[in-house]
Amino acid sequence: MQNFYKILYNSDLFKNKTLKEIEDIMPSIQYSVKNYEKDELIFRIGQPVKYIGIILNGYIEIQKNLASGNVIAIFEKKRGGLFGEGSVFSKSDTYPCNIFSKSKSTILFISKKNMLNLISNDLILLENLLRSISNRALLLNLKTELLSYSSIQKKIAFSLLYLMDDYTCNNMITLPYSKKNWAEHLNASRTSLFRELKEICDQNIIHIENKIITILNRDSLESLLNF
């Protein structure tokens, strides 16, 4: 069995498929596997749309260039994540964003033609692909709402309340990326982010220890969105 089949077993595309089914599926299509170095470009804006990627190792970042000249991180994808699926099945014939490998990464690529062959013969894979595209659209809407807030404190509050999915029963959040990347996610400078985080901490709304953020007063955090 190929070494990456177990990774595909835990991937977004092959969710609810058995290892045996994956072993049977993969030899029936053409695919390629490529390694990338940290900060290496995978797809660029304007590049012809041809492939969907599945992350076998490492993680990638999807970036958008704004008219102002600023660059913002739209999404991050980790091991098992799917990317490029929205672009491949859109009416556009080019990628709308730059996609970078943010660590040493290994990516499996499947062409649009081969992906169509997969989903036309398997309703589970079709459902998984549609779910991934739908989740991407939902996250993009949330990102748009995030960027609509005028102050950094409001962006922090919105990010903590709605965009991070690592909550526990103790109101603790594990940041899925560094504070530097979080600042880029909020379209703010790292200095401004640290200043506003300190102010929110001083108000006893949150407590920060390394990458762990504890929400001490959720009502107060929500109220920041209304000021």
For each of the chain's 227 residues, which pLDDT tens digit applies? 467 899 999 999 999 999 999 999 999 999 999 999 999 999 999 899 899 999 999 999 988 877 667 777 777 889 999 999 988 888 888 888 899 999 999 999 999 999 999 999 899 999 999 999 998 888 778 778 887 888 999 999 988 887 655 555 568 888 877 788 788 778 888 899 999 999 999 999 999 988 889 999 988 998 998 87
Environment class of residue 202 by beta-carbon count within 10 Å: exposed (0-12), middle (13-18) or buried (19+)?
exposed
Compute the C-alpha angle 5/10/11, nearest 5°.
90
pLDDT of residue 123: 95
pLDDT of residue 160: 87
pLDDT of residue 170: 66
pLDDT of residue 164: 59
Of 194, 192, 220, 195, nearest in space to 206 by CA = 220
pLDDT of residue 91: 85
Q: Are 156 and 200 in contact (CB under 8 A)?
A: yes
DSSP state of 63: E
pLDDT of residue 197: 93
pLDDT of residue 58: 95
Of 64, 61, 10, 2, nearest in space to 29 by CA = 2
pLDDT of residue 1: 46
Task: Give the global pTM.
Answer: 0.74
Q: Are 188 and 152 in contact (CB under 8 A)?
A: yes
* Three-state secondary structure call for residue 189: coil
